[in-house]
Structures are given as C-alpha cells and as structure tokens.
Amino acid sequence: MADFVQFAVSGLTIGAVYALVALGFTLIYNASSVVNFAQGEFVMLGGMATVFLAALGLPLPAAAVAAVIAAVAVGIVVHALVIEPARGANAVTLIILTIGVSLVLRGAAPLIFDKQFHKLPGFSGEAAVGVLGAAVQPQAFWVVGGAAVIVLALKLFLARTLFGKAVLATAADRMAAMLAGINTGVIVGFAFATSAAIGAIAGILVTPITLTSYDVGVMLSLKGFAAAVLGGIGSPLGAVAGGLLLGLLEALAAGYLSSTYKDAAAFVVLIAVLMAMPGGLARVKQVERV
Amino acid sequence: MMGLCGTAAAAGEIRIGSVVSSTGPAAFLGEPEDKTLKLYVEEMNKAGGIIGNTVKLVIYDDGGDADKARTFATRLVEEDKVVAVLGGTTSGTTFAMIPVFEDAEVPFIAFAGAVGIVEPTKTWVFKTPHTDRMACEKIFEDLRKNNLTKVGIISGTDGFGKSMREQCVKVNAKYGIEIVAEETYGPRDSDMTAQLTNLKGAPGIQALINPGMGQGPAIVTRNVRQLGIALPLYQSHGVASKSFIELAGEAAEGVRLPAAALLVADKLPDSDPQKSVATGYKTTYEVATNGQVSTFGGHAFDALFILKAAVERANSTEPAKIRDQIENTKGFIGTAGIFNMTPTDHMGLDLSAFKMLEVKGGDWVLAE
C-alpha cells in the first residue's frame, strides 16, 4: 500500500508538469488552431532564465517574475514575427513553423545561458514530507498547487471576462469573431503570451525537482503534447486530466511492470484510449478544417 | 628539442583531427574536451610546436550524434589529411568512428569509457579514460572492504549506463558480490522514486550502485534521500565533476565513487607522482576557462600529450610510426593515472588509477 501511494504521488507530481505543458498547447490551439511545438522551450526559458537571473544576484521571487516576463516577450515576438505573417497557411505549415521556432530557441539557449544542468532550491526546503507512508518533496505541492491555480484562473478568465469570451469566440470561428469586431490578431497574440507565461511558470515550479538545461524542452513538448491529445486537444480540463494520467501511468508502469518499458507502457495506453475515444478523454468533437 | 628541428620531417604543419560532442546531451563531457584541446594546442604552438611543426587542430562537433561523428571522421581522413585523431566523446560516437580510422590506418585515441573500444585490441585504436569495468571492480573492492555483499543496481538506459551495468554483471561474482535487484531509468527521466521504492524493498539489500551520467544520477541521489533510504550509495566515474555535487545538493553527502586523481588534485599527498600533472592541468584549465575542471577534459589532456610524446619519439609525422610509438607509451603520468601501453593493452591503466572518493561537506575527499 505504501508503495502504491509512493508511485501515485511521484506520478501525479510529474503528471502536473505534463499537465501545465499540455495547458499551453490547449490555449494556443484554441485561439488559433496552431499546435505550438515550441511550448516545451517556454518551460526551459522559465527555468533557465530564473537560474541565471538568480545567479546575477536577483532574489529568487524577482528572478522568477523577470523570467516569466522574458518568456512572455519571446512569446509575443514569436507570434508577431512568425505566426501572424503566416496567417491563413495550412496547419502543417504552421506546425513546421513552430518546430522551427523551437529549434531556434534551443539553439540560442546554450549561447545565452550555457550547456550545463542547473537546479533551483526548493521553495519550501528539501526535507521530504510523509503522506500516507510515502515520502514527498515539498516542491511537489508547489507544482500540483501551481497547476491547480493556473487552471482555475484560466477557466475563470475565459468564462467570466469579456476578453476571455473574445478568446473563446476567436477559437470557435475566427472569421465570425472578426466580423463581430474582435481584433483576432491581438487575441492570438495574447494566447501566445499567456501560454508562454504558463510554460515559464511551469519551468520555474518544476526545476527544483527535475533540474533544467537548455534542451529539456524536447521531452516536455513531446509528453505535454501526448497529454493534450490524451485529454482531447483544445480542452483545458482534458489537458490537466491527460497530464496527470500520463504521469501516473509512467510511475505505475515503472513501479509494477518494468522501468525499461515505462515510456512504452504510457504510450500504449495513449494509443488505446485514442482508438476507443478519438476525441480524447474530454471527447472533443472532431472539426474538419479545410 | 630545438636541435631535432633540422632532422624532423620537413618543418611545417602537423595536422591533428578531433571529433567531440561539444553540444547535445553529452555536451558536459565534450565541452571541457574541446576547450582543453584548443587551449593546449595553442600553448604547444607558442612553445614551438611538436618536433618543429606547428600543430594544426581540426576539430568538429558531432552534437552527440553517431552518424555525424562518422561523417566527420571520414572528412578528417579524406579532406583534412590528418595524421592522428583524438576524440570520440561518447562510446556511441567512438564506435561509429573506429572503422573509418581502422580502414584509413590513422591512429585514434578515444576519450570514451566503454571497454569494447580497446577489447579486443584494434591496431589503430587507443583510449585514455578508465573503463567502466574498472569502475565496477573498484566499487566492488570497496564494498568487500566494508563487508557489504548484496547490492541493488539502478542504471541509466543511455550507452554509458548500459555498458557499465553489463560490466558490473560480468565481474560481480569474481568479487563475491550478489546483485539482488535491478532497475533502470531513461536519460531524460526526472523522477526515479518508483524504481528506488522497489530497490528499497529488495530482500537483504545492503548498498546501491548507480551506473549513469548526466543529470540522471543527481536525481537518483536526491530521490534516495527523499525516500529516506539509508543504504550506502555508489555513483560511477560518469558523474565525476563538481556539477554533480551542485545538482544533488545536500543529498550528495556520503556518496562514494571511483574517479581519477584529478578531482582531488590538491588533496593528493606530495609523494603522489600524479600530483604535479593533475594540479598543473587543473590550474591552467581553470584560469583559462574560468570554469571547474572535470576528469573529462583530463582525458583529452592525456590523449594530446600521449600523442605529442609519441610523435617526438617517432621523430616523424607518419601515421604508422606514430601508432607504433603510442603503443610504446610507458610510465606516462597523466590526469587519469600512469599509462603503460602494450600491443595487447591499448589503454594502459590499472585499478590503482582509480581513487575511491566520498562527498563530504560539499566536496570530494579521498575515502581510502
């Protein structure tokens, strides 16, 4: 039993990371139907920028805020220079563009930062806490709590504010939204800025647990995308569910099956779910865009 | 040495090739290698080169990709016309390049750990780092000394982790060590608590061994402490740099690992023949690069100076003559140990080249 709790806690912690990355995918996909494969790079930017700003002597909270601002700036620049000029291009072209962006960011990172691995201190110390017989790093609470706050804030923002409703309108039908007087270019730019911020916050929250380096974005993009697809791409709650489930599956597979096949086990379940529920866990309707 | 200039093969240029992984997942290995080679070739040229020839270093970055490494190896041989090659940061890239140099008959001194590089012996291939088998043997020796015989192994699934695990499984019986449980982790994994929970519960387990490199072992170390596992933890020479202690933080306290004397250069007794070489390299590297010395750069240093000595003894820049003299390396004091190569031993180090270190107060100390 204690073993199970330990596996579950570890899985949910890593799953919360995947969930935050998946959330970033969801937001941009909703606003612009672009699958942004540079999402993992925002996570890297958040972690690495915080490490380096803190090393320059900034207090940790200030470094973290500055890192998020920097990531948002990068998100806006990416949108303005790469995505907006290619408006109207088909989905594959846009995906290739975002992959290009991720390569550029990954190439620039070792020049701006360096090629070493880095860590941040745990926000609430490093001594493990006991939960039902399992040992949990205090930082895990920050990750899971941070994910919960972000999801809630996003949900409220989209449902309760005029600007949020404009995002939803743009997502539903860009042309109609434009005709209704919504500046859809601004909305999509906003989606990029917000998902850059979410990615960067995720990077800052997880670095004390996972460590960071200039190329952590690759794996995170892959796992985050899998989580978003598992949850039903386009659904914020689905993204969270997908992320947590993927992390849980990995930890349980490593614990009960074999650590060698844990990635494979997670992806086998992903394929099985998609075969049974093509729209993902959130049963998102398939929209054919021509 | 200046006197030799006249007799040397026409004073000119001696072209030495190199392929390292200064970017990519093995960048933390390749970068210090790259810096070391550039730094010391520059110094050599200031001091008059090798037997009167200016050293021209042709260096490529394979990014840790074995296919790229092979392409660069071919380019070094066919276009750059080098007389010898140093490099091969990872075992994977090194294995990819070996056939190229064997075919072209160009001497090649590798910086990678796998024992398969020099066993069986290949005519043109040498290496300077200790092998992973020696690392296991050193760890097993230390376990015996402490009367610990039942161990669990958690290894990375990258080339280094896999290779060292295989060697550990091959030699454990010789040392009377029983492997009671095994787990693995991916090189990019960020949580190993599930695997460690299983090891913790393995019956009779007395110690943990973690063959691996990169950030994985640092996370394993932190997870071990997080789970409150009180077993002695042995890491490998794959994490022999200060960054391991920085990444693992307090969790690193008490971790043991076999590593080259270089890591504890200033703590070596004055009687140690390696002391002056190790401190010399450490000081030069740290002043020039403003970074921490690591044993990985030391492997490049050893290879470069073994090659230099071989060219001087051969008094020629012909690849075949250089090869014969590399094989003849005797009593060469490097950062990794004292090299004595033979026609059947193209590495030339024995177990004494490894020191057992322990992390204490955020630094390495000699554990023996």
ipTM of the complex: 0.84
Instruction: Looking at the complex, report in whole angstroms how far the Cα of residue A135 sits from the nearest Cα belonging to chain B.
Output: 5
Chain A 211-230, residues with CB within 8 Å of chain B CB atoms? 211, 213, 215-216, 218-219
Q: What is the pLDDT of residue A80?
A: 93
DSSP conformation class of A287: -
B294 vs B102, which has greater pLDDT? B102
| Cβ-defined contact of A115 to B28 (cutoff 8 Å) | yes
Q: Which residues of B touch A10 (CB under 8 A)?
A: 191, 193-194
| Cβ-defined contact of A126 to B249 (cutoff 8 Å) | yes
The pTM of the full predicted model, rounded to 2 decimals, is: 0.83
Distance CA(A28)–CA(A26), nearest Å, equals: 6
Q: What is the pLDDT of residue B11?
A: 61
| Cβ-defined contact of A7 to B194 (cutoff 8 Å) | yes
| Cβ-defined contact of B25 to A209 (cutoff 8 Å) | no
Average pLDDT value over all residues in chain A: 88
CA angle B319, B309, B266 (to 5 degrees): 135
Instruction: Looking at the complex, report in whole angstroms how far the Cα of residue A90 sits from the nearest Cα belonging to chain B.
Output: 32
Instruction: Looking at the complex, report in whole angstroms how far the Cα of residue A116 sits from the nearest Cα belonging to chain B.
Output: 6
Q: Rounded to the nearest 5°, which phi and psi values hold at A194?
A: -65, -45
Instruction: Looking at the complex, report in whole angstroms how far the Cα of residue B233 sits from the nearest Cα belonging to chain A.
Output: 18
Select the residue of B201, B222, B243 nearest A117 (Cβ to Cβ): B243
Among A95, A96, A44, which residue's Cα sits nearest to residue A71?
Answer: A44
In chain A, whose CA is at the least distance from the CA of B227? Answer: A135
Chain A 121-180, residues with CB within 8 Å of chain B CB atoms? 126, 128, 135-137
| Cβ-defined contact of A126 to B250 (cutoff 8 Å) | yes
Predicted confidence (pLDDT) per residue in B145-155, tens digit: 999 999 999 99
| Cβ-defined contact of A210 to B157 (cutoff 8 Å) | no
In chain B, whose CA is at the least distance from the CA of A126? Answer: B226
Q: H/E/C letters for each residue in chain B?
A: CHHHHHCCCCCCEEEEEEEECCCCCCHHHHHHHHHHHHHHHHHHHHCCCECCEEEEEEEEECCCCHHHHHHHHHHHHHCCCCCEEEECCCHHHHHHHHHHHHHHCCCEEECCCCHHHCCCCCCCEEECCCCHHHHHHHHHHHHHHCCCCEEEEEEECCHHHHHHHHHHHHHCHHHCCEEEEEEEECCCCCCCHHHHHHHHCCCCCCEEEECCCCCHHHHHHHHHHHCCCCCCEEECHHHCCHHHHHHHHHHHCCCEEEECHHHHHHHCCCCCCCHHHHHHHHHHHHHHHCCCCCHHHHHHHHHHHHHHHHHHHHCCCCHHHHHHHHHCCCCEECCCCEECCECCECCCCCHHHCEEEEEECCEEEECC
User: What percent of chain B shows pLDDT beyond 70?
Assistant: 97
In chain A, whose CA is at the least distance from the CA of B154? Answer: A259
Q: What is the pLDDT of residue B1?
A: 41
State whether residue B184 sits within 8 Å of chain A by CB. yes
Predicted confidence (pLDDT) per residue in B166-203, tens digit: 999 999 999 999 999 999 998 888 889 999 999 999 99
State whether residue A252 sits within 8 Å of chain B by CB. yes
Q: Which residues of B touch A262 (CB under 8 A)?
A: 186, 194
State whether residue A257 sits within 8 Å of chain B by CB. no
In chain A, whose CA is at the least distance from the CA of B219? Answer: A210
Looking at the DSSP assignment, which residues form a beta bridge with residue B87?
Answer: B19, B110
Residue A70, token pair as written in the block: 């920097």
**With b meaning 16 or more CB within 10 Å and e meaning fewer, what string describes A98-133?**
beebbeebbeebbeebbbbbbbbebbeebebeeeee
| Cβ-defined contact of B227 to A213 (cutoff 8 Å) | no
Sign of CA dihedral A44, A47, A48, A50: positive
Q: Which residues of B touch A137 (CB under 8 A)?
A: 226
Distance CA(A125)–CA(A167), nearest Å, equals: 39
State whether residue B215 sits within 8 Å of chain A by CB. yes
Q: Rounded to the nearest 5°, which phi and psi values hold at B89?
A: -75, -50
A284 pLDDT band, cuts 50/70/90, is: low
In chain B, whose CA is at the least distance from the CA of A8? Answer: B194
B284 pLDDT band, cuts 50/70/90, is: very high
Best mutation target among A111, A114, A211, A244 (most B Cβ atoms within 10 Å) is A211
State whether residue B229 sits within 8 Å of chain A by CB. no
Q: What is the pLDDT of residue A115?
A: 80
Ranges A74-78, A265-269, B140-144, B292-296: which has the least confidence: A265-269
State whether residue B194 sits within 8 Å of chain A by CB. yes
How many residue pairs bridge chain A and chain B with CB atoms within 8 Å of each other? 90
